[in-house]
Amino acid sequence: MPPAAFKTAELTLHGHRVGYRTGGSGPALLLLHGIANSSETWEHVAPLLCEHFTVIAPDLLGHGTSATPRGDYSLGAHASVARDVATALGHERVTVIGHSLGGGIAMQFAYLFPERCERLVLVSSGGLGREVHLVLRAAALPGADWVLPLLTSGRVIGLGRGLGALLQRVRLKPDSDLEVLGRGFASLDNDGSRKAFLHTVRAVIEPGGQRVSALDRLGLAALLPTLIVWGERDSIIPIAHGEAAHEAVPGSRFERFAGAGHMPHDDDPRRFADLLADFCATTEPARLTPDHWQPLLDGGRA
């Protein structure tokens, strides 16, 4: 049988266009992509997931086919839009899956809306440590507003060749994840998307590294089935972040993809789809209340 369809669509939320892709039937998976990316990042694995699940993959505001409004591009704002997309499509409860920046948004989703979250899956996730690729740290610099249009021009970008040449000039060898960054920069082809990118980057990254960390709150996820997936050769966010998160979340499951970089779900879609199906089949969906954190917070009072 051919893979199930993964179709594009759009809706309007709070006056703004939000693009998304969806397909399949069954328990709902909410897939959240990384920075300067879109729902397209799931195009190889989503049809496989659609064989067992309803898949919802929104384009975050400022990304893909979604609008690029002036406003809030924080993790909480992105999590709220993700919740609203799921609600608009009739899904009250989801397994939330986040890649890179999307991992930080997924953790924020689980923290803000625990009653909506059945499971949490983090894929090469941001928000778990300081280290992050130099190019993303550079985007947090004040002068990036002027440099970014040059990096994203048609003359410079060609499957990462322009970015690779730039890195070579400053004697930094392009790594295996360079194409991921190159495609992301190539997508910033208008003023609105560039501004949205910079607002999003600066909400979570500073020149010294990631400025947002969930490590101090991961223990609160002990009641939420959690799967952490990482590529062993990830050069954008190191696998050590995933290992530390696994230690911090009691009962979590950690899976490393040998030979994979920052996109393990794209490097081996079949393994990723089978892993996710097994994780969902062998864990009971959480049934949490909005205030279920309260006893844990009360226990931390001095």
Among the listed residues 33, 133, 241, 262, the single catalytic one is 262
Encoding tokens for residue 46?
Answer: 């989503």
100 is annotated as an active-site residue: yes
DSSP H helices, the chain, are 46-49, 75-88, 101-112, 134-138, 144-151, 161-169, 178-186, 191-204, 239-248, 264-267, 269-281, 294-299
- Three-state SS for 250? coil
DSSP H helices, 59-177, are 75-88, 101-112, 134-138, 144-151, 161-169
191 is annotated as an active-site residue: no
Residue at 272: amino acid letter? F
Angstrom distance (rounded) from CA 254 to CA 230: 8
- Choose among 1, 227, 49: nearest CA to 21: 49
Among the listed residues 177, 234, 266, 268, the single catalytic one is 234
80 is annotated as an active-site residue: no
- Three-state SS for 143? coil
Angstrom distance (rounded) from CA 212 to CA 110: 16
User: Are 134 and 69 contacting, i.e. CB atoms less than 8 angstroms apart?
Assistant: no
Query: Residue written as tokens 């929104």?
Result: 58
User: Are 100 and 237 contacting, i.e. CB atoms less than 8 angstroms apart?
Assistant: yes
> Which residues fall within 8 angstroms of residue 249, CB to CB, at 6 or more apart?
218, 219, 221, 222, 226, 228
Among the listed residues 100, 124, 125, 187, the single catalytic one is 100
Residues designated as active site: 100, 234, 262
